[in-house]
Structure 1
Amino acid sequence: MDLELRPGTPQDYDEILRLDSLAFGEHFTQQDAADAFDGIPPTFTVATVAGQLVGVTGHYDFTMTVPGGALPVPGVTWVSVSPLHRRRGVLRALMDRQVRDFAAAGVPAAILTASEGGIYGRFGYGPASSTRRTVIDRRLTKLAQSGQKAGGEVRVLTAEQARPVLPELHRRWREQVPGALNRNESWWDHLFLDREQHRGGLSAKFYLAHPEGYLSYRVKDNWNDGIPALLCRITDYVIGSDEAHAALWQVLLGMDLFQTIESEQIPVDDPLPFLVDDFRQVRTTAVNDGLWVRPVDAAATLAARTYPVEIEAVIEVADPLLGDQRLALTGGPDGASCQPTDRPAQVSFGLAGLGSAYLGGHRLHTLARAGALRCDDPRLLTRLALAFSTDRAPFHGTSF
């Protein structure tokens, strides 16, 4: 097979849509194509055989919040291979080429969200955060302090009213949350398109806004022979303060026609179970991987964040594609430095293991037990685990 790789061009868009349609079992309209490529066009790399496009990968440019700072990262997306060319090294060639291009551009790390859990670990990506599906029986759930004046500052907004308000609330929220991604103006325009064919049979979005946060949701009718049992599905959940959290939930839990509230946007460390009168009613029905991280320049990635305790360690990072690195990391609450060194390694990370540890979403002791890292000094491992910990669970919040 004479495989060739090259940058994608607008002339490839029809074939890219065809591949994505075959991979994900979805037919795209001309409106879908215009929304995707005219609004927020990705940067593509394509694979061809005898001039025929047989594989593609792309990326969007994001800024990702990390503890104490931010990191420019490409978000890998649109990954597809023709069903007639599977198991022939097409995906490997595309992913390796993409990472080499990232390295040449000086990118510190790359991110993605995965359609399947077994694909991207072999390319150095490690699952760094978690998402969950939360289901709440609204009829049986209320805030424990029901008399509090929580909902007074909440406004109901139309889409037109929400468009100029939400971006600033989101910016302030994402600066608090490791793993959270920025949304540029084109991204916001895309989100507010709210095309009917992408609603899954539910309503257009409703918006509740507080001065320090907001949420959007859709509703599905279900009158159950005259008994109201509507479904509320939260689609965006941006909570910037405890006050906003209580206020927004007091309004939402007061919607008498709703039977069930569900979402995949409520972070795993959200305090809601501890604020309602029945802890069990905030049910987690599934937990899945969220953001995956691949260090490209491990030194730059480690130096970009702060650490809650002072740490000094020599870390070896195994990268079969770009080359192994041995790095002296010195960091603390005020910043960090990370430089190549010849000193003996005290901690050894697999590349995906470092990606999983980076945002604080997984305990280092757990990763060590799985073989994703090795440290022979238990005291150093404990210190390093504290250094990589965060006070908020990482959550990316923006699907791509």
Structure 2
Amino acid sequence: MALEIRTIDDGDLTPWVTAMRTGFLTAPTPDKEEVEVRAAGMDLARTQGAFDDGRCVGTFRSHPQRLTVPGGAQPAVNAITNVTVSPTHRRRGVLSRMMARDLAAAKERGDAAATLVAAEYPIYGRFGFGPATTSAAWEVHITRSALDRRYAGPECGGRVDFADGATVREHGPGLHERLRAQRHGVVDRTERWWRFATGDLPSPMGWKEPFHVLYRSPEGRVDGLLTYGVEDQWTAMQPENKAVVRDLIAVSPAAERALWHYLFSVDWITTVTTRDRAPDDLMPLLLPDPRAARLTTQADLLWLRPLDVPALLEARTYAAEGSLVLEVTDPDGYAAGRYLLEAGPEGAVCSATSRDADLTLGAGALGSLYLGDESAVRLVAAGSVTEERPGAAARADLLLRTPRRPWCPDIF
């Protein structure tokens, strides 16, 4: 029997979750509660399964997402997640067929781009995606930092207080929206995200209650949130506990300094680890000895696939005034064309043109350049972009690069 790719219905939920867990190498059989919790957050019209003789062997789901781009606009994009193909059914075009169906629907809806987080790097470039943000993980050895740990509250006159899950659900969403307004690369968080993060919904991945800390400015405004867990460890009756940062949101430098200083000053904590932080995070610079913060991982996180090039390029602002003609190649056709970009700090106009191209690049390369993290000059040197006119790559970098690097703190 030929493999069938189709949109799933309620009766497919348990086998679909089973196939997803199998693909992600977790215990394959879900309990009833997990299926119900997952189903409540799924749009079945955007959820696909691959079936072989009635057995689900592939999973694919997408959902609406808002992505902050340089300048603060938040175009609608198509976020892809829960992608698996069972090991028994690889190399049969299962992922290609599910991806084609989803991207066609996203294009028809008018989404400017598609996004995903790639577990394996080589897979998604062939579908027109390019890595668009970089994520960093740190390990901080507090005893080597030369930090004065005699903590007496924020020096700015604000305050730091513990909070419970209900308080975080009250203040966290608005705080995160303020962060999104000022930091490109950040994606929106749903109410379900906050409920999972605070234990109000049972997480399929398991959950252990963390500590939540809010920073309030001297005027009483909530400008920061820190969520962390602690791994208990003692050696020869000496505490050597590790704090594991799950989330740190700060919308002012004062809030960021106050939350890090608080955490670095907690008694019994000798090591702090983080994940999914910005590649240009301020944290090491807040230590008297920045070498105490060791970069343990730096890797791509958010991948972006252009679907509507004019809409995407017109959504963001640019560092300088200038124009650029881009020849975008795309075997799937969604982004293919030659486009004139006339850009500046106030915005841009992008339209089809017959002018000679300045740069020729694939959809994935455009995805990598779009948020400003990658360099066109670098991609030309690597052979991923062709410079048709001398100096065009440098001009592209002048327009596209941003003072702070894009940051996506969330895996979806």
TM-score by length of 2: 0.91
Q: Does 1:65 align with 2:68?
A: yes
Would you say 1:279 and 2:260 are equivalent positions? no
Q: Which 5+ residue runs of structure 2 have no aligned equivalent? A: 216-221
Give the match for residue 343 of structure 1.
Answer: 355
Report deviation, 1:379: 2.5
Q: 1:82 Cα deviation (Å)?
A: 2.0
Give the superposition deviation at 1:144. 8.0
Aligned counterpart, 2:303: 292
Partners of 1:317 and 1:350 within 8 A in 2: yes
Q: Which shows bigger deviation, 290-299 or 362-371?
A: 362-371
C-alpha separation between the residues in 2 aligned to 1:261 and 1:234?
Answer: 7
Checking the alignment, whether the CA contact within 8 Å between 2:360 and 2:387 is kept in structure 1 is: yes
Aligned to 1:100: 104
**RMSD across aligned C-alpha pairs, in angstroms?**
2.1
* 2:27 equivalent to 1:19: no
2:194 to 188, 192, 197: 188
Pair 1:19–1:393, CA change in 2 (3 A): same
In structure 2, which of residues 116, 120, 127 is the aligned counterpart of residue 123 of structure 1? 127
Return the offset for 1:199: 5.4
- SS of the aligned residue for 1:168 comes to helix
Partner SS state of residue 175, structure 1: helix
Following superposition, the deviation at residue 349 of structure 1 comes to 1.2
1:17-49 deviation line (CA, Å, top 9, x unaligned): 111111111124333222222145563122233
- The equivalent of 2:231 in structure 1 is 220
Partner in structure 2 of residue 35 of structure 1? 37
- Corresponding letter in the other structure for 2:160: V
Where does the alignment leave 5 or more consecutive residues of structure 1 unmatched?
none
Q: In the aligned structure 2, how far is the partner of 1:4 from the partner of 1:344?
A: 44
The superposition leaves residues 279-328 of structure 1 with CA deviations (integer Å, 9 ceiling, x where unpaired) of 11111011111100000112211111111111211111111012521111
1:46 maps to 2:31: no
Change in 2 beyond 3 A, CA 1:248/1:40: farther
User: Is the Cα–Cα contact under 8 Å of residues 225 and 249 in structure 2 kept in the other structure?
Assistant: yes
Aligned-partner Cα distance in 2 for 1:11–1:196 = 22
**Is residue 80–residue 114 contact of structure 2 (8 Å, CA) maintained in 1?**
yes
* Equivalent position of 1:267 in the other structure: 278
Q: How many residues align?
A: 398
The share of aligned pairs that are identical, in percent, is 33
Distance (Å, rounded) in 1 between the aligned partners of 2:55 and 2:246: 38
Please name the residue that 1:330 is paired with.
342
Match of 2:186, SS state, is coil
Runs of 4 or more consecutive aligned structure 1 residues displaced over 3 Å after TM superposition: 39-42, 49-52, 142-148, 194-200
Question: Per the alignment, do residues 143 and 325 of structure 1 end up closer, same or farther by CA in structure 2, a change over 3 Å counting?
Answer: farther
TM score, norm. by length of structure 1: 0.94
Change beyond 3 A, Cα 1:137–1:29? farther
Aligned counterpart in structure 1 of residue 94 of structure 2, from 78, 82, 90: 90
Structure 1 residues 198 and 79, CA gap change in structure 2 (3 angstroms): closer
Q: Is 1:321 matched with 2:332?
A: yes
**Is the 1:112–1:291 contact (alpha carbons within 8 Å) kept by the matching residues of 2?**
yes
SS at match of 2:192: helix
